[in-house]
Amino acid sequence: MKINEQLIEIQEHFGVISSEIILITGSIILLILGILRLPLFWIKVFAAVVLLGSFLFAQQVSGFFFTRTIIRDDLSYLMTQLLPLITLGVLCFKRQAHQSYEFYFLLMSVLIGSLFMVGSHNLLILYLAIELTSYASYLLTGFHFNEKGSEAAMKYLLFGGVSSAVMLFGISLLYGAHDSLYFDTLEFSLLGATGLFFFLSGLFFKTSIVPFHIWVPATYEGAPTDAVAFFSTVPKIAGFAVLYHVFKWTNGLFNPFLEQLILLLAILTIVWGTLAALRQTDVKRMLSYGAVAHSGFILPLCLVMDTYSVFKYYVIIYAFMNILAFLFVQLHEKEGENLSLSNVSGLGIKFPLLGVISVIWAVALVGLPPTGGFMAKLFLFSTAWQHYGSMDSLYWLTFICVGVLSSAASLYFYLRVPYFYFFKEDQGKKIKINKRYFVILTLLAFTLILLFIQPNILDRFAPMINP
Amino acid sequence: MSSYILSLIIWMPLLGAFTLLFFNERQTSGIKIVALIFSLIQLLFSIGLVWRFDPNYGDHLLTSFQFVEKFSWISMSLGSFGSFNIDYHLGVDGMSLWLVVLSSLITVLGVLASWKLKQQVRSYFMLYLLLSTSIVGCFLALDFFLFYLFFELVLLPMFFLIGLWGGPRRSYASIKFFIYTLVGSLLILVVMIALYLSVGVLDPTSEMMIHSFNLLHMMDSNYFIEGSSLAKDSVLTFMGMPLRAVAFLALFLGFAIKLPIVPFHTWLPDAHVEAATPISVILAALLLKLGGYGLYRIAFSIFPDAALHFGYYIAIFGVLAIIYGGLNAMAQNDLKRMIAYSSISHMGFVLIGLGSFTVEGAAGGMFQMIAHGFISAALFLIVGVLYDRTQNRKIENFSGLATKLPGYSFVVMIVFFASLGLPGLAGFVGELLVLMGAFNVSAVDGMLPNWIGIVAVMGLLITAAYYLWTIQRMFLGKYWVREHSWEPKMKDLEIREWLIFTPLILGIVVLGMYPKIILDTMNHSIELFIAHVGDLKIKL
């Protein structure tokens, strides 16, 4: 293809990435508005409008675009719908000192990077997108500008730098093996397998799979809570979507080895995350290990191709649960202090509604009825059992057993927040919570219950082109 | 037959809980009256259910359910699974009928027993009514998903009811209770998923496999998909055992933790002792029955082949529970702890009855559950009476109560003797039937050896020993209480307490004198159950 033909093609394809373009222009304007000293409230409103715009103007098409570097399919459409909405949820968090227009600009940058991660069909584009999300994330981590925040950001940067170097090495090996940077040209070769392994470790870092999870607790503890809610959802879900794409293109090539490796890692992640969470007293740290365990649950869903709807359901529920949990945590925080369990002792008498909401998110994260979290786990285990039944693979059975047992163990730590809320003596700590957050929390909690009673409503969210 | 009586019975308490939302925390008497009214309505409906119940309905276990309600609840398509279907499916038969009546009666009595509660009354009754809804829902659900939903929903209100209104070690007890039973129900969850994927019908038009959670389909071997993981011809094994056997064991363990069986019983004494009186009553009278009912309705009915294989071991677990629970009860010096262990001991009979695979045994086990519902409720209320007055329940702190509290001692005598199995009172009938079943089967085909029945009878001796000993220590002899300050509080039963005890005592006496009421309505269902479960006996 000649250069000018390519240029014409690129020009024609701009409409396909309309939501990304809206976000890019929007975030640049946001930066300018910030320099013009617009009050933060209006900056937030503007950001919300941009996010809604990108949600509404997302294009549902399928195929390859931009000289086959961008792919559009059901999954990437789902992400262009879901991720801006999650970011919108993050905008609703309580006002704290670290929030400034730069903060929201960086938030948008991570979102843009995440959307390009999901849309990329070329290893280099993917690498660039991951770097975009990573750099913005490093900065967001340190936004408290205190010692803890800087330490967290530094750790994140170091681990991130190493993993991205390893990933780049993997990409170069893959290029060497196949002479191509496109996903769909993968073939089986020893060099390719090695390259894939290194390449995946970069993605595992993003999705916090053990043993690439070490940055998670420190970062979650040190970063502002709204940034944590964002990290645990948007870039992570995008990372899983990329894994979904990658496994789609390597489908069967490296089996059964790859499948066994993934399941082993998933089991390890679940066990590690659950066990480590058991002994935490800092709520954010506890939730961070819980989020690691959840990564282990989502990982196998990327592997098996026939489970798009289960994957979709799980990530949406996961996003809801995490936003609700972290919003809840942030509302109880004092400026610049982390929330420890003893800080919520005995608040249940004063705020029974908040106590009930904490029960709902805790129960949802454990995966018990009557919350959407239970449906997500039910679908997940159904998928796993089906694979076990059809392949008689012990790895799947172990995954089911470990998953079920870890649910029981995770009850112990997730339930500690409502436990301290209701069962402990009041320590006379004063916490003020604005009434409108009650409305937001109640709505989110209600949605979680609604998603249990009628999970079909999610079929209408980002429907598939040809189901 | 279209009637919504079952739904009304299930959702009436929840409606009450919603009504309580409109009350102020300080309107305590209003709250209590609302709770009482809604639980009374539920009781009236369940009595109406008995009235309209046809004891000889249907000629096969799968068609013997009455007042069936069935609606599609969730139906979504999930890629390669085909579609995911959950029904709202209720029905009642002779086995669940009396458990429903029992739970609505105990709910009413529990409201009366909590009448003196002072702190956080509204939240207490809301949780209490939610608990009642989920317990009755378990007994009436015919869709596995629905059953599981109610089964899990029992845990949350119970967790808070123990943890917020309990004794000094309440938080430990509530967490322990929650985690133990959650492990059990997660085992059930895995089997439920496996069953769901193994059961289905082929849609003739779209050629898609329609899976369902319908319990009746799961009981019918015709509905199992050929080659699926839990089909009769499945070749899958787990650690050398056929998968069906493993699935049965998982279900058995899941329900047996609730029942409880001996190595997994330790949550029960803690939970019972720490919970407030009405909550202990619900725990003992109803929650344990969920386990037993689950074994009858789900574990045994779905996997009769595996159940038959393990029948002998199940009976051994029953014997173990009887002896171990009895000996433990004898060693306690806390009255409530003693009664908690006696519950474990009595539930052992249910396992022997099930393991015998005879009509007598199964009916005896079922009868034992209902009788134990009445007796254990009364037992915990008896402890509550003493605890209300003195905040103490150590056996050695009291002596000669019979002279000072004659009415109370009269109630205690009847209930204790019922519990130790005196002929003419409710506890006797169930144990007799179970033992008949056990000896019968050992005579017919030797499935259970004779010694199981013999050891179980020994267990009865232990029961008699600790009850009589307690009566001797606490109620006979010269009147004496440990603290002088308790003296003015030692008054006999008041009217409210008589109101609670009267229906229980009446129930205990009537069930003991005239068990025909229950056995006649139950018999047909039990026969169908044994016919269904024992169907394979001939083949083996």
Token pair recorded at residue B358: 């005879």
Distance CA(B432)–CA(A386), nearest Å, equals 46
Kindly report, residue by residue over B304-318, the tens digit of the pLDDT: 888 888 888 999 999
Within-domain flag for A211: no
A263 contact partners, CB below 8 Å, separation of at least 6: A300, A303, A395, A396, A398, A399
Asked if the model's pLDDT at residue A13 lies above 90, the reply is no
Within-domain flag for B416: yes
Mean pLDDT of B196-208: 78
Question: How many C-beta atoms surround the C-beta of residue A288 within 10 A?
Answer: 27
| Interchain pair A404, B186: CB under 8 A | yes
- Average pLDDT over chain B reads 88
Within-domain flag for A194: no
Within-domain flag for B426: yes
Kindly report, residue by residue over B235-259, the tens digit of the pLDDT: 777 777 888 889 999 999 999 998 8
Considering only CA atoms, which of B178, B184, B147, B144 is closest in space to residue B162?
B178
Residues of chain B in contact with residue A423, where contact means CB-CB under 8 angstroms, are 163-164, 170-171, 174
Q: Looking at residue A463, what is its pLDDT?
A: 81
Facing residues of B200 across strands? B211
- Average pLDDT over chain A reads 89
- Using the CB atoms, write b or e for A99-114: b if 16+ within 10 Å: bebebbbbbbbbbbbb
Q: Looking at residue A323, what is its pLDDT?
A: 94
- Using the CB atoms, write b or e for A415-427: b if 16+ within 10 Å: bbbbbbbbbbeee
Determine which of A75, A270, A359, A419 to mutate to test the interface with B (most B C-beta atoms within 10 Å): A419
Nearest CA-CA distance, residue A73 and chain B, Å: 16
Asked if the model's pLDDT at residue A33 lies above 90, the reply is yes
| Beta strand segments in B327-436, E | 398-399
Kindly report, residue by residue over A153-171, the tens digit of the pLDDT: 999 999 999 999 999 999 9
Q: Which DSSP letter does residue A93 get?
A: S
Between A285 and B227, name the one with better pLDDT: A285
Query: Binning pLDDT at 50, 70 and 90, where does residue A466 land?
Result: low
Mean pLDDT of A263-285: 93
| Beta strand segments in B379-513, E | 398-399, 480-481
Q: Which one-letter amino acid corresponds to residue B517?
A: I
- State the DSSP H helix or E strand holding residue B91, giving kind and residue range, or none if neither: strand B83-92
Token pair recorded at residue A148: 């803890």
- State the DSSP H helix or E strand holding residue A178, giving kind and residue range, or none if neither: helix A147-178
Asked if the model's pLDDT at residue B1 lies above 50, the reply is no
- State the DSSP H helix or E strand holding residue A417, giving kind and residue range, or none if neither: helix A416-423
Nearest CA-CA distance, residue B80 and chain A, Å: 6
CA dihedral B127, B334, B390, B274 (to 10 degrees): -20
Asked if the model's pLDDT at residue A51 lies above 80, the reply is yes
Within-domain flag for B227: no
Structural domain harbouring B371: 304-540
Between B256 and B490, name the one with better pLDDT: B256
Query: Binning pLDDT at 50, 70 and 90, where does residue B538 land?
Result: very low
Residues of chain B in contact with residue A467, where contact means CB-CB under 8 angstroms, are 77
Query: Binning pLDDT at 50, 70 and 90, where does residue B79 land?
Result: low
Q: Looking at residue B539, what is its pLDDT?
A: 37
Cβ(A123)–Cβ(A199) under 8 Å?
yes
Mean pLDDT of B11-39: 91
Considering only CA atoms, which of B423, B408, B438 is closest in space to residue B515?
B423
For every residue of B225-236, DSSP letters joined together read PTT-TTSTT---
| Interchain pair B196, A382: CB under 8 A | yes
Within-domain flag for A454: yes
Between A392 and B168, name the one with better pLDDT: B168
| Beta strand segments in A159-221, E | none
Asked if the model's pLDDT at residue B120 lies above 90, the reply is no
Q: Looking at residue B540, what is its pLDDT?
A: 35
Question: How many C-beta atoms surround the C-beta of residue B352 within 10 A?
Answer: 32
Q: Which residue in B has a C-alpha nearest to residue A371's C-alpha?
A: B149
Considering only CA atoms, which of A186, A193, A219 is closest in space to residue A205?
A219
State the total domains in chain B: 1
Mean pLDDT of A248-270: 85
Q: Which residue has the tokens 């006002």?
A: A95
Between A348 and B148, name the one with better pLDDT: B148
Lowest-confidence segment of A80-94, A385-399, B285-299, B365-379 by average pLDDT: A385-399
The rounded percent of chain B whose pLDDT value lies above 90 is: 47
Asked if the model's pLDDT at residue B367 lies above 80, the reply is yes
Residues of chain B in contact with residue A454, where contact means CB-CB under 8 angstroms, are 74
* Backbone region of residue B446 per phi and psi (left: phi > 0; alpha: psi in -120 to 50; beta: other values): left
* Backbone region of residue A208 per phi and psi (left: phi > 0; alpha: psi in -120 to 50; beta: other values): left
Query: Binning pLDDT at 50, 70 and 90, where does residue A83 land?
Result: very high
Distance CA(B172)–CA(B461), nearest Å, equals 34
Asked if the model's pLDDT at residue B231 lies above 90, the reply is no
The pTM score is 0.92
| Interchain pair A379, B78: CB under 8 A | yes
Mean pLDDT of B165-192: 89
Cis peptide before A256 (omega within 30 of 0): yes
Lowest-confidence segment of A205-214, B141-150, B527-536 by average pLDDT: B527-536
Nearest CA-CA distance, residue A269 and chain B, Å: 20
Q: Which residue has the tokens 């139906």?
A: B75
Asked if the model's pLDDT at residue A392 lies above 80, the reply is no
The rounded percent of chain B whose pLDDT value lies above 70 is: 96
Cβ(B91)–Cβ(B475) under 8 Å?
no
Question: How many C-beta atoms surround the C-beta of residue B87 within 10 A?
Answer: 21
Structural domain harbouring A374: 260-467
Mean pLDDT of A363-381: 91
Residues of chain A in contact with residue B182, where contact means CB-CB under 8 angstroms, are 368, 407-408, 411
Kindly report, residue by residue over A127-162, the tens digit of the pLDDT: 999 999 999 999 999 888 888 889 999 999 999 999
Which residues of A lie inside 8 Å of B (Cβ-Cβ)? 306-310, 349, 352, 359, 363, 368-370, 374, 378-379, 381-383, 385-386, 388-389, 392, 397, 400-401, 404-405, 407-408, 411-412, 415, 419, 422-423, 453-456, 459, 467
Q: Looking at residue A211, what is its pLDDT?
A: 87
Considering only CA atoms, which of A84, A369, A79, A165 is closest in space to residue B151?
A369
Query: Binning pLDDT at 50, 70 and 90, where does residue B80 land?
Result: low
Within-domain flag for A9: no
Within-domain flag for B185: no
Query: Binning pLDDT at 50, 70 and 90, where does residue B510 land?
Result: very high
Within-domain flag for A376: yes
Distance CA(A442)–CA(A447), nearest Å, equals 8
Angle among Cα A425, A426, A432 to the nearest 5 degrees reads 155
Token pair recorded at residue B77: 């398509």
State the total domains in chain A: 1
Within-domain flag for B190: no
Within-domain flag for A148: no
Query: Binning pLDDT at 50, 70 and 90, where does residue B81 land?
Result: low
Partner-chain residue, chosen from B155, B174, B190, that has the shortest CB–CB distance to A400: B190
Distance CA(B232)–CA(B161), nearest Å, equals 43
Nearest CA-CA distance, residue B169 and chain A, Å: 11
Cβ(B365)–Cβ(B430) under 8 Å?
yes
Query: Binning pLDDT at 50, 70 and 90, where does residue B322 land?
Result: very high
Cβ(B76)–Cβ(A455) under 8 Å?
yes
Q: Looking at residue A403, what is its pLDDT?
A: 92
Q: Looking at residue B253, what is its pLDDT?
A: 92
Kindly report, residue by residue over B399-409, the tens digit of the pLDDT: 888 888 899 99
**Alpha helix locations (H) across A304-434?**
308-332, 352-366, 372-391, 394-414, 416-423
At B481, give phi and psi (nearest 5°). Answer: -125, 155
Within-domain flag for B255: no
Mean pLDDT of A271-280: 92
